[in-house]
Each structure stands twice: as C-alpha cells, then as structure tokens.
Structure 1
Amino acid sequence: MAGIVMCEPREMYNILNQSNKFSRLAEPNYLCLLDCRTKREYNESHVVSAKFVDKPAIQCAQVLQEVSRLPIRILMGGYERFTALYHFFRTQKVLWLPREIDEFQPYPLEILAAGLYLGDVRQANDPNIQKDLKIKAQVNVTEEPGKLFPPGACHVFQIPVPDSCDVDIFTFFPDLCKFIDAHMSPTFSVLVFSSLGISRSATMVIAYLIYWQKKTLKEAWNHVLKCKSNIRPNRGFVKQLSLWEEQIHGTAITDISDPNY
C-alpha cells in the first residue's frame, strides 16, 4: 500500500510542468489528476488535465492507495489555493486530443516559491510566461543572447559558456548570487535558463542554493532534483560545485564520487 501524503501547490505546479522533449502530461501513465469538487464547479473551471470524480478526495485517495505503487497526493488548499497562485492553469476544457496534450507547453520549474525558476530557451523567450510568473530578471547560461518581450523589459546576466566539462563556471558563481539577490523580491522573480534547463542552468541554481540557504551540495542537488526530475550537470560542473560548497562551508561535505552526481 503506497500511502497518502499532502501536496503543496508548488509541488503540484512542478509535477504538471515536468518535461523531456515534450510535456510529461502527454505520457498516458504519468499523472492521474482527479477533481473532487462538485460537477458545477468543475465545469466552470478546473486545472489542466484534471478529470471529474463524484467522490470526496479522501475517499478517492483511500481507494487508490490500495492499488498504487506510488503515494497518493492530496492537494493542500485544493483548487482554490492552487489557482490563486497559478491562475494560468485554469481551463474549462474537458476533452483533450492527444495532439493537444503533445503541444502543451510546460512552464519553468519553481525552485523557490514565486522567486526563482529554472527553465529552457523556449520558456525564456515566451512573453506569456514572463508575464504570468512576473519574471523581471534572467540568468542566460547559453552562448546566445535571449529575446526580451518587450525589449529591455528584463535585467539580464549572461554567462556565455558551452555545456562542457572543461569550462570554468566556478568564477561566475559569486556574481550570479549577487545578481539573483539584487533582483529576486516578493513581487518579482528570476528565471535561470540554458538550452534544455538540465546542465548549465541547473548548476547555477544549485550554486545559488548553496550560497543563499547554506545548503550542502547534496541538499541543494536533492532540492532541485525534486523540482525538476531530469537535471544532469556534467561532471566538470559537479566538481566545481564541490569547490563552491567548500568555499561556502569551509570544508567539502558532499561525496561527489557517489554515482548519483
């Protein structure tokens, strides 16, 4: 029996936005999202991909936990709290064609609540995403300049490095942290992005968490991995993150010989 756990809205947001080449919502066995409100409320609006069930949430969870190998999550605060934070995931659409699900465009992953996001080039160049997430600053970890909508709308810190084990990315960490500190606020957020949002940008986000929250490399890595399940900084970047951990904490704490890194 898998058990029942409570799910914060940010966790739900990140579950909805997992992607490889395409949104993971296009995978038929990835997520079964059930809406246990009244039929009238469901028809008025619901979260993208949710299906209506005429049964209280706890009863649904109790039934599902008997057959699921994974924990059943109950959303804390329900639909109202989730959509108050992420209104752009509301829809009235009930039936989705496979092509429509394939074309669903995920949003950047939320690393720190309404403050720091991890994404890719497409998301960085999407004006709707910039507006919805109140992004006012970007860390561009690619060799190409990004497109801003409108031009000059964002503050940009460019780190023009390739995704190579031989690249010195360590020297950018102090200025990266200063830039994020200067632009992340209760009303505005920062997007860190690279081509795929897997290696370079993930490295930068991990480095910031080590600095800002004084996390160990292992703790910061696990936090980002929980938000985005397919991060994979290259081996050279991992070694430099270990050096950064040593600089921040005064000693190397995380054993990067572990094959998980």
Structure 2
Amino acid sequence: MAGLVLCEPTELYNILNQSMNLTRLTEPNYLCLLDARRKHEYNESHVITARRVKQSPKGEYLVPESAELECVKYCVVYDGKTSFLEDYNYEEDEEGTESADDSSTDESSSSCSKNAEAGTAVQCARVLEQFTRHPVRILKGGYERFSACYHFLRTQKIFWMPQELEDFQPYPVEILPAKLYMGNLRQACDRQIQKDLKIKAQINISEDTVTLFTEENEKSLHISVPDSPDADLFSFFPNICHFIDAQITHGAVLVFSGLGISRSSTAVIAFLMHSSFFPLKRAWNHVLQCKTNMRPNRGFVQQLSDWESKLFRTMITDTSEPNY
C-alpha cells in the first residue's frame, strides 16, 4: 500500500495552482480531491474541484467510480479539521449504529463525537491507499484551516465542465506561507489576486512595465533583464534580498517575471539562500516543490552557484548534475 502522509494547506494551495499552458486541473490524472465531511457541509462550501466521497449503507467509504486512482499523481482527502494520522473511535448513538445515509443532513443525526468527525479523512484514506501508487495526502487542519487561509478557493460548485477548468485562472504559487509568492505577468496585473493574497509589494523581473503600485514606488522594484543565459541577474541579488527583507514584515510580496518560470524562480531561490541560509540545492528543491515547472536558464544557474559561493565562501552544490 502507498501509505498516508499529512499535507499542509500551502501544499494543497500550490497543487491547485500549478499550470503549464493551462491549469493542470484540466489533466484527468493530476488531482483527485475528496471531501469526507457530511453532505450538508459539502453542499454549503468546499474546496474548488473537490468531490464528496460517499459511503455505503454499511458505512464503508466508496472509491469514486470515475477516479483511476492508480494513475492519479495527487490524491488528497480532507474532513473538518483532522491534524493527525491516528484513527479515531466512533461513539454510537442511542440505537447503537452510525447513520451513513447520504440523504441525512441533520447534525443531530450524527453519531460521531467531535474527535471522531475529525478523523473521517483518515478512515477514508485507509480505503483509498489500497488503490494508489503514491501516498494519499490528508489535509492537515482539514477544511477549517484551509478555508481560513484561502477563502477565495471555496465554492459551492459541484460539477466542473472541461471548458470551466480551462478557464480557471491559477494564483501565484506560495513560497513562504502568506509572505512570499511567485508568479507571472498576468497574475501581477490581476487586482483581485493582489487583494485575495494581500500583496503589499512586488518585484518585477521582466522587461515589461507593471503600473499597479506606481503610486507607491517604495512598494515596487523593477529589474529589467531578459530571460537570456547572458543576462546579469547576479548583481541584483543583494537589491532583491534587501527589498524582500524590508517589505515582508509589512505584508506579502509577489516576485514575478513574464512566465513565472526562469527569472522569478532565480530571484526567489537567491532570496531563500540569503534569508534562510539554504545551500543552493535545498533552496532549489523548495521552490521546485512549490512550482514543479520552474526552470532557471543555464546562465542563471551559474549565477546562483556564484551566489552560493559568495554566501558560504565555498561551492556546496554541484550544478553539473542533471537536476540543474
């Protein structure tokens, strides 16, 4: 069996907001997101694209028929607020049985204790892990914690047509929770995204001009460099790090470039090496986990290696490895 792992809210946020030419949510075997709460809770509000997992009359969790779990890259289950992988015990109601009828939505009909309810994701995941190649992820803190962090990713929508998924506009990926985001030019120009993520400052690492913060120049840093192996971004690393250090205490910072793949990821990696004292390899892996198609060009990789040597007074990461 593939096993179970806890999934932080920021991880699910980034899974939902991965994109190539289109959002990756359009890929049928990319994400299976399941809601293990009661029917009335799901109908009231749930995470976008989530399906409610159903139970048999005997209370057994049913594997979604349309989900080919052995092919799915991410299988994520959540309930109200589970934060641990331990199983929970159910308290029987007066009749000694737990109701599993989907048509029952009255809270008084529930036979679960508060703690038992919090463990429904674990029980569901125990069933699903028999069919998956990758570990089943359980959302830590459940729907309550996720929706508190990302209220804009809540919905009552149950069915998603292919065109609706194609039209879904992903948000910038989250590098440091509620503090540092990385995105593209379109996202940087979207005022709703700025409002939802509480973006207070931006670093524009592209040749395009974005005027969102022109009224407050101290909130915007523009570094005009092309995405070319010959472009010099290294000499701007200190400015980038100083700007983020100064702004991140006042609110979230968005670092963006044209596509949000090469220049912005280079800048964010350089900042993590500076602020967290991460070697290049660790900073690289962190950003790659947040945005799976990030790809600094070869010139920027060499500049990051030079930055590592400057910060640590020695080269630690072998950038000749295929990963770079």
Query: Is 1:216 matched with 2:279?
Result: yes
Query: Partner of 2:199 in structure 1?
Result: 135
> 1:65 aligns to what?
129
In structure 2, what is the Cα distance between the partners aligned to 1:30 and 1:257?
30
The answer to whether the 8 A contact 1:136-1:153 is kept is no
Q: For residues 141 and 46 of structure 1, what CA distance do their matches in structure 2 show? A: 35
TM-score (norm 2): 0.78
What secondary structure does 2:306 align onto?
helix
The reply to whether residue 11 of structure 1 matches residue 11 of structure 2 is yes
Measure how far apart 1:101 and its partner are.
Answer: 0.6
Query: Aligned match of 1:152 in 207, 211, 215?
Result: 215
* 1:203 counterpart residue number: 266
Shift of 1:166: 0.6
Alpha-carbon displacement from aligned partner over 1:99-137 (angstroms, at most 9, x marks no partner): 001100000000011100010001000000000111011
What's the secondary structure of 1:49's corresponding residue?
Answer: coil
Which residue is equivalent to 1:23? 23
The percent of aligned pairs where both chains have the same amino acid is 61
For residues 183 and 135 of structure 2, the distance between their equivalents in structure 1, rounded to whole angstroms, comes to 27
Does 2:244 align with 1:189?
no
Q: Distance in 1 between matches of 2:6 and 2:302?
A: 36
| Matched AA of 1:196 | L
**2:324 is equivalent to residue 258 of structure 1:** no
CA distance in 2, matches of 1:147, 1:89: 27
Deviation at 1:153, TM superposition (A): 5.8
1:179 aligns with 2:243: yes
Distance, in Å, in 2 between the alignment partners of 1:104 and 1:2 is 30
Looking at structure 1, the residues matched to 26 and 195 of structure 2 have their Cα atoms a distance apart, in angstroms, of 25
Paired residues, number:
259
| Structure 2 residue 300 is the aligned partner of structure 1 residue 237 | yes
Letter paired with 2:275: W
State the AA in 1 paired with 2:25: L
RMSD of aligned alpha carbons: 1.1
Can you list the C-alpha shifts for 1:130-154, whole angstroms capped at 9, x where unaligned? Answer: 00111011110100111317x5267
Q: Which runs of 4+ in 1 moved over 2 A?
A: 151-154
1:108: which partner in 2?
172
Aligned position for 1:228 = 291
- Counterpart for residue 140 of structure 2: 76
Distance 1:30 1:147 in 2: 35
> Paired residue for 1:124?
188
CA deviation map 1:202-222 (0-9, x unaligned): 000000000000000000000
TM-score in terms of structure 1 length: 0.97
Deviation at 1:62, TM superposition (A): 1.3
- The answer on whether the counterparts of 1:183 and 1:190 sit within 8 Å (CA) in structure 2 is yes
1:2, distance to aligned residue in structure 2 (A):
1.4
In structure 2, how many angstroms separate the alpha carbons of the residues matched to 1:153 and 1:28? 43
Shift in Å, 1:67: 1.4
Partner of 2:46: 46
Unaligned runs of 5+ in 1: none
Report the residue type matching 1:256 in the other structure. T
- Give CA-to-partner distance per residue, 1:55-101, whole Å, 9 cap, x none: 43222211221111111000011000000000000101111111001
Please say if residues 139 and 192 of structure 1, whose CA atoms lie closer than 8 Å, have aligned partners that are also in contact: yes
Amino acid paired to 1:82: F
CA distance in 1: counterparts of 2:211 and 2:230, whole angstroms: 28
Whose radius of gyration is greater, 1 or 2?
A: 2
